[in-house]
Each structure stands twice: as C-alpha cells, then as structure tokens.
Structure 1
Amino acid sequence: MTDPKAAITHLIDVMARLRDPETGCPWDQVQDFPTIAPYTIEEAYEVEDAIARGTPATLLDELGDLLFQVVYHARMAEERGWFAFADVAKAIADKMVRRHPHVFGEEDARTAEQQTAAWEAQKAAERATRQEHGTLAGLPPGLPALTRAAKLTRRAGRVGFDWPDAAAVLDKLEEEASELRAELKTPGQTPDTAALRDEVGDLLFVLANLARKLDLDPEDCLRGANRKFERRFGHIEEALRLEGKMPADVTLDRMEELWLDAKRRERNAG
C-alpha cells in the first residue's frame, strides 16, 4: 500500500515543478483561478461518470484528476501568499470534526436524521459567521441550475414554504405548461423570446422540485435521460448503417420505428 503522506508530498512537488516560473511547463505557468475552474468542474463530473460506470480503475484515475485540481488551486493560492495545500487539508478536517461532535466529542450517538438536522444547523451558524444571512444564503450561483433549484426550495421548505406533496407539484407543472402554451399561441404575434425563456425556466424549476419531492436528484434524472437518448439514437444509427443509410436519408417515421424497436429491446433485456 502506498504511503499517503509520501504520495501527497510527491504530488505537491510535481505541481510546484509545473508552476515553476523558470523551468516549469509554459501552459501551467500562465494559468490562474478563472482558467482552471472549468477543468475543476469537468473533473468532478468525470468522477460522477466513473462511479456510474462502476469501474474501479477509471474511478481511481478520475479521483486523481480531481485531487490534482485541488492541489493546483492550492499552489496558485500559495504563490499569492494566501494559503497552502496543508491549510486546505487542515480546514476541511477541522470542519468535519466540528460538524460531528457525536463522533469526535462527547455527545451521544445520533440517527442519520438527527445528524442531517445538526449538520444543517451547524452550516447555518457558519454562514451567519460569514455574514451570509437569509434562508437561501450560501448556495453557490455556479451550481448546476437543476441542482440549485432543488436546493433553493429545499431550504425554503425548511421554513414552511413548499408544496405539500408531489401531486401538488404536478398541478403546478400543468399550470406552467398552460402558460407556455398560451405564450406560443398568441394569434398574429411572434412568440417573445424573453417570455418563452421565462416560461421554460419556470417549467424546469418545477420539474427540479418534482424530483426533489420524489427523493430523486434532478441532475441524476436528466443524466439518465441523456444516456437513454444516446443509447436509443445509437440504435437508430446502427440499424440504418446496416442498411447502408444515414439518419438524414430516411423519414422521421422510419427513425421513430427504430426508436420504438430500441425501447422494445430494452424492455425485453430488462
């Protein structure tokens, strides 16, 4: 088993060499926080994909890529005299100890539900310390929009501002769909782009909350739908390829037939 302390030290040294202003990599030398941030987000999604695939070797590789992003940001912060990787590691360790007094302190054991409530209370106290006031404070704007929608209304729900159940959310979904239809059917007028954006946004927001009410992650739901679409459309392309054709060569009805065939195959395989 690899020595974790030695491995981390080696990784930090590698990062320092890459950023060395004289002997480092030209690409790494010119990067800064804004240019690296998109890669950090991308690597987090690749970790999620590796988990979904269930391949340990891929997960190991992607976790390494994500860890490298943390080391990268810490190195840039150290160069500015802000903090170093050790400070990052200490800060998160201290936070976990602080948020788990039933493990590291003298409090009694908690159920999962009690720990969730205590965790949120501790987070609220930390936000107040940072002068982040209000029920919705502290939710990063950069979160995926569906995830942020679910988190916003989960926060609001804790103070009683919420739909009573999933059925009520479905009613709201039908209301929003009607408003979108009305916007599309205004006689003699070209649909207003801003109004359409607003109505579609409302639909997506309600859908995110429908998933929340069903104890589902809306991002996970959509990722699953994306994978399903890719799989079924791939079936269409492959079937047409065997016929010496491409999707652009056939009618929509023919592609729909193949789509339904893909669905039947999935049901039979399941």
Structure 2
Amino acid sequence: MKLYFLFVILFLFHPLFSESSSGEKKIEILIPDGNSGDNNGWGKNPLQFEDIDFLGDAGEENSKSFFDKSKEGYLNAVDRFRKATDLAETKRKDFDQRTFEADRYEWQKRNRRENFENSLTRDINKARSDSVRLLVASMNFLERIQNQKIRDSDHFRELQAGIYREYIKHQLAFRNYMQAMDLLERYIQIGSKYYEDSEAQGYLATCYERIYRLSKKTRDNQARDKYDVLRKKHGLLYAEFKFGKDSSDYKEFSRELFRD
C-alpha cells in the first residue's frame, strides 16, 4: 500500500470517539476546524457575494428582499463566529505568555490551564449556537422566496450551499449527527456540483456511520441495515470524487471499506 494512501486510510478511520470497540473500521472524516485553507467552501473563507442587480427585474421585490436578508444573516453568522475564534486565539496567546506566581506545582498549572481552556470552549460553543440561530433564520428567508427565476439562479444555489455548509460544520462540531445528516442530504441535492463535492459525501458517510453504530448498540436491525448500506455507498462516493473511480487509491479504499 502506498504511503500516501496509508495516510488517507488512517485519516478516514481515525478513532475520534472512544465508545467504539477496538479494531472497528470507521468512515469518519475529521471535523473541519477552519484552518484547512481549502477553496471548496468547507474551509475558513466564506463565499463572497456581489450585489445582484438582475433580481430587481425578476418580478417580485419581496423575493429580492428575502434573498438580501438571507445573505446578510449568513455573512453575519460567519463574521461573528470568526471574531469569536480570533478572540479565543488572542486570549490563548496572552495566557501562554503570562506567568502565575501562585502556581508552584505542576498540578496547579494543569488545573489553571484546564479551567482556562474550558472557559474558551464555553465561549466558542456559545458563538456556535449564536451562529446556528442566524443560519436557521437565513434558511427561513430563503424558503420564503417564491420567485422561480431567483430560485433557479446560481446565486440562490451558492447562497443556499454556503448557509448549509456553515450549519453542517457547527452541528458536526457539536456532534449533532442527525441535524448535520439532514442538511447534508439537502446539500448534495442542490445540484450536480454539490453532489460531486467529495467533502460533503465524506461528512455524510460519517453521519451514517455514527447512526449505524448507534443502531447496532440499540439492536435496531432495520436501521442498522439501512445505514450500513448508506455509509458504504457515500463512503465510495467520497473516494470516487476524491481520487477518481479508476484510481488505485479508490480500489484500495473500497477494499478497506468492505472489510468492516
């Protein structure tokens, strides 16, 4: 097995969650942390939207208003969460540079660090929750758009996909796999461009994997069989769109996947 592909396999089956039994293969993609620097929409930079003049000529001013409100909410959600993460990083750097004379023992230093990190986690989680509320409001504005010319436009689909991506990333970070799964299923139905998004297929396979494992524990055989098929189907789609169906990496991935 090539070293590159060995890395891919280790990445995909990384043991993120301790409740699974040892030796079980998993279809889990690491949750994005916003630092990947990718340009496919799943990384740190949000979509950039220009003013869409043609919407005013589409025949329904209310639809244009709803679109603008949805866009504003999306950009606000991204901006607020980014500011929260930037602030947390600034606080962490400041903490690392400080010395605390009261901490004479290692256990005191560890406790102070743990308390500090827990405080940052609470701040980030609150920012995530605030962002999710804004994104849900943005989704609702999109749903209220009735003008079909607007709904069929690339601008509409790009905004919808951007909102979904941000919402999905937050739900994955919260480990809310059912909510993430629901939006991922909608995301890949927006159009062929989004169906062929390898990251989306990988995250969807991750969600199906989690539900599959849960159904095994609860002995829900019907759900287990359903999500066993779905996790493998979308795991293969991830590999197909990531590597190409005729690639050696795809074939090796397939063999590893069906050993589970």
Query: TM-score, normalized by length of structure 1?
Result: 0.29
TM-score by length of 2: 0.30
Larger RCO (CA within 8 A; separation ≥ 6): 2
